[in-house]
Amino acid sequence: MNTKQGELLMTSLMIKIAKIALRVLAVILIGCVSAVIGLILGAIVGGNLAAIYEIVFGQEFVFNGRVGYEATGQIGFILGALTGLIASSVLLFRRRTKK
């Protein structure tokens, strides 16, 4: 094998590794952003639902030692992170068919 061919192969491999690393970073970033969005939506929407839950069942909604909108905010954070990580990893790492 020629030295020039070896350099081209190494450059091609480094570009593939860099693309994979950027995809992984994108998945992590999208997961963090969707977790924060889930936290905010969970606190806003879930806070109202927690108040309805308290009226209907006569006890406060408790999750992880928190009550009301704080509890639903944590649930929204977890669900938002999971949704963002799964959706972005499927979109960024799915097999693409060549046309």
For residue range 7-35, what is the model confidence (pLDDT) as tens digits?
788 888 899 999 999 999 999 999 999 99
Whole-angstrom Cα Rg for the chain: 22
Confidence at residue 2, expressed as pLDDT on a 0 to 100 scale: 57
* Residue 2: both structure tokens together: 């020629």
Residue 16 lies in a domain: no
Q: Mean pLDDT for the chain? A: 88
What pLDDT score does 3 carry? 64
Residue 60's domain comprises 26-93
Domain count, the chain: 1
Kindly state whether residue 42 falls inside one of the protein's structural domains: yes
Q: What is the end-to-end Cα distance of the chain in Å, rounded?
A: 32
> Quick check: is 66 in a domain?
yes
Helical segments of the chain, H only = 3-57, 69-93
Confirm whether pTM is higher than 0.85. Answer: no
Is 59 contained in some domain? yes
CA-based nearest residue to 42, from 15, 69, 8, 63? 69
Q: Is 98 inside a domain boundary?
A: no
Residue 78 lies in a domain: yes
Position 21 in a domain: no
Inside any domain, residue 6 = no
